[in-house]
């Protein structure tokens, strides 16, 4: 099988490493920034913008690619999977329409409202500052401010973490609207959810999900959950699939929400195929949806927490191969009966990596470095 990985960052390097280790796969890559690690792993590569759909399609046809895995979200936003589908090239990534769960936060929230999906937050989108102020005041300034479009995971501002009070919130609202952060003069404002945050990742064949272990990641630059958001400073998971504060029922409720989202996307005519990433806040009223993403975070920060529990062949080819059976149904895929077992013995261990300190605690003891 010839596998093409699109993207040249850390997450794509992790994907490429998994493909490279698979015995029946030849790795090809397309990347805008030349990643030396990916270059060494690849049988061949093309240095090109990932959003240059025409060039990527030409390269995929030239190399007789069987399966494409798209790492960055930007190529999905411009419809690269749609074009691949036109030429009969399979992709373990969503179409432009399905990818709107991340590329258009307003659209995502509207879908949740339309189908009355559990786990919603109060939210509205605004193009006018004064209307935004009225909404923020109704929520006593306890809000999360989100540009509508893509910001590389660094555009969200939360009350108490990044600003205090209505006036400071409005300052960021003005910046987003005036500078079109995220690509639009519009901002999504949500009520602030209070609780422990978890990430639940899953693979989807367009109708059914296969959920993986729950993960908690840490985005802040500094210890004690302080400083600006980053792409990720560390994460952890546990061998039982849960987290120290996460019950089985809360895990199942979160997975059920992801399953419902996959079902309604199929109803909307844009079935979601590939990995999906749901970020939830465990509140007193149950799990609340914070954000949905499609990109391969499964292989990125969380690769360090979860992939130690999963054979890498399963990650890239074993799990993705059944996504493209001619008959996509539960009896064919038997998703719920497939087991995801640790490749090596794994002890329950909790790890947090920050800029200056590593702390751990588990069955092997605890310490600080």
Per-residue pLDDT tens over the stretch 50-65: 999 999 999 999 999 9
Closest C-alpha to 43, from 18, 70, 16, 73? 16
Q: What is the pLDDT of residue 231?
A: 67
Give the count of domains, the chain: 3
Average pLDDT over residues 264-292: 94
* Same domain for 293 and 145: no
Domain presence at residue 208:
yes
Confidence class for position 326, pLDDT limits 50, 70, 90 = very low
Q: What is the pLDDT of residue 225?
A: 78
* Same domain for 348 and 203: yes
Confidence class for position 154, pLDDT limits 50, 70, 90 = confident
List the domain range (segments joined by +) for residue 132: 122-191
Q: Which CATH number do you get for residue 344?
A: 3.30.470.20
Q: What is the pLDDT of residue 315?
A: 43
* Same domain for 362 and 220: yes
**Could you give the CA distance from residue 349 to residue 362 in angstroms, rounded to a whole number?**
4
Domain closes at, from 138, 168, 191: 191
* Same domain for 358 and 230: yes
* Same domain for 181 and 40: no
Mean confidence (pLDDT) of the chain: 82
Domain closes at, from 130, 161, 191: 191
* Same domain for 135 and 37: no
Q: Which CATH number do you get for residue 152?
A: 3.30.1490.20
Residue 201, beta-bridge partner list: 277
Average pLDDT over residues 121-136: 97
pTM, 2 dp: 0.80
* Same domain for 128 and 82: no
Which residues does 225 contact at the CB level (< 8 Å), separation at least 6? 218
Domain presence at residue 171:
yes
**Could you give the CA distance from residue 155 to residue 346 in angstroms, rounded to a whole number?**
35
* Same domain for 332 and 257: yes
**Could you give the CA distance from residue 12 to residue 90 in angstroms, rounded to a whole number?**
18
Domain presence at residue 112:
no
> Per mean pLDDT, which of 12-16, 223-227, 277-281 is the most reliable?
277-281
Is the distance from CB of 237 to CB of 349 less than 8 angstroms? Answer: no
Percent of the chain with pLDDT strictly greater than 70: 79
């Amino acid at each position: 099988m010839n596998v093409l990985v699109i993207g040249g960052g850390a997450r794509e390097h992790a994907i490429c490493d998994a493909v490279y280790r698979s015995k029946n796969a030849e790795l090809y890559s397309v990347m805008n920034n030349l990643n030396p690690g990916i270059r060494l792993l690849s049988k061949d590569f093309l240095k090109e913008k990932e959003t240059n759909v025409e060039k990527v399609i030409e390269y995929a046809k030239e190399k007789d690619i069987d399966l494409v895995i798209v790492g960055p979200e930007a190529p999905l936003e411009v419809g690269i999977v749609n074009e691949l589908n036109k030429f009969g090239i399979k992709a373990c990534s969503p179409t432009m329409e399905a990818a709107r769960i991340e590329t258009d936060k307003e659209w995502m929230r509207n879908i949740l409202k339309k189908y009355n999906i559990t786990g919603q937050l109060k939210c509205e989108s605004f193009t006018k500052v004064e209307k935004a102020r009225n909404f923020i005041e109704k929520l006593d300034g306890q809000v999360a401010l989100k540009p509508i479009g893509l910001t590389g995971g660094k555009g969200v501002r939360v009350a108490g973490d990044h600003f205090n009070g209505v006036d400071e919130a409005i300052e960021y609202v003005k910046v987003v609207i005036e500078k079109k952060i995220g690509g639009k003069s519009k901002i999504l404002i949500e009520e602030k959810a209070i609780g422990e945050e978890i990430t639940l990742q899953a693979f989807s064949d367009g109708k059914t999900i296969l959920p993986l272990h729950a993960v908690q990641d840490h985005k802040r630059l500094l210890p004690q959950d302080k400083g600006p958001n980053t792409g990720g400073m560390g994460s952890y998971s546990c061998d039982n699939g849960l987290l120290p504060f996460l019950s089985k029922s809360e895990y199942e409720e979160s997975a059920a929400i992801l399953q419902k989202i996959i079902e309604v996307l199929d109803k909307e005519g844009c079935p979601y195929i590939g990995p999906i990433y749901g970020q939830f806040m465990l509140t007193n009223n149950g799990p609340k949806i914070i954000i949905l993403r499609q990109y391969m975070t499964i292989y990125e920060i969380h690769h360090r927490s979860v992939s130690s529990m999963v054979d890498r062949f399963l990650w890239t080819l074993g799990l993705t191969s059944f996504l493209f059976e001619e008959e996509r149904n539960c009896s064919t895929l038997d998703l719920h009966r497939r087991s995801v077992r640790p490749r090596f013995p794994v002890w329950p261990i909790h790890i947090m990596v920050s800029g200056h300190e590593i702390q751990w605690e588990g069955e092997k003891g605890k310490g600080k470095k």
